[in-house]
Structure 1
């Protein structure tokens, strides 16, 4: 018995089976692409809160970071989180990196004030100068013990991670993202 257009009946059902399998395969691939797009969107949304933080911890931490900037008398600039917790590649022992990114004038003014606390000819001063000149960076340590105590009081208490705070020169070696604003 032949089917429509002279094709045997079995061949028509075989063709329908091939077409049905191809359609199912295409639908499965479309579902995978849609799923990947949804996962990507979820990952972007999730990055608004760094890895290892709850929304509540992040809100309190961001508030503490802004308060630290004000109370320490740090200049205006972009206050951001960066590093592995923002990228989503942190290990359980990874710290949270926070930076205040400032222009050249603010950076070098703050660097001069920080260097004034380090006696000339000391290893401390040489280390600070290297960070300033090579990296465009002032670490918490460079900002002084009062700053470190303030940071511990206002930022560290809100998270179970070590906090690394730096002032970075805009355009310097470490002024590269991704960054997550702390506002």
Structure 2
């Protein structure tokens, strides 16, 4: 168990998404993560996974990686970090989360937002270190097997 709280199962289909939408974005995100070598431990987290989203809530997607993978991604994502990027790197290390821009996932986030007809700032895709601060709470596995 993470020192930051237990991982809890979320809804099978995150709140506010249809089965067909969830199936479509699951395939898109899984294919992209696989092609980037990030693995397949992918989930929706936060209020949409927990079923307590409000109108306008964002969709938070996490790609969980091992400590070793996380360290490698930090090194490659922030290879030339200076000033503000260096501070961003420190926060990423502290929190165990590399946000979309640094992880090379911004385009994927925009495509998922388009698939869902969401504003682009309402889809957050992050790389999450297993056992880190963001590896807790309700999580809905991003599956591509619902067949909608």
**RCO higher in structure (CA 8 A, sep ≥6):** 2
Query: Normalising by the residue count of structure 2, what TM-score does the alignment of the two structures yield?
Result: 0.81
Q: 2:27 aligns with which of 15, 40, 63?
A: 63
**Structure 1: stretches of 5+ with no match in the other structure:** 1-43
Equivalents in 2 of 1:151, 1:90: separation in Å?
19
The answer to whether the 8 Å contact 1:77/1:100 transfers is yes
Verify the 8 A CA contact 2:33 2:40 in the aligned structure 1: no
Contact 2:29 / 2:108 at 8 angstroms: preserved in 1? no
Higher strand share: 2
Residue 92 of structure 1: how far off its partner (Å) = 1.0
SS in 2 for 1:178: strand
2:42–2:141 contact (8 Å) kept in structure 1: yes
Spell out structure 1 runs of 4+ moving beyond 6 A.
none
Counterpart Cα distance in 2 of 1:99 and 1:117: 25
| TM value normalised by structure 1 | 0.66
Per the alignment, residue 9 of structure 1 pairs with none
Q: What's the C-alpha RMSD, in Å, of the aligned pairs? A: 1.9
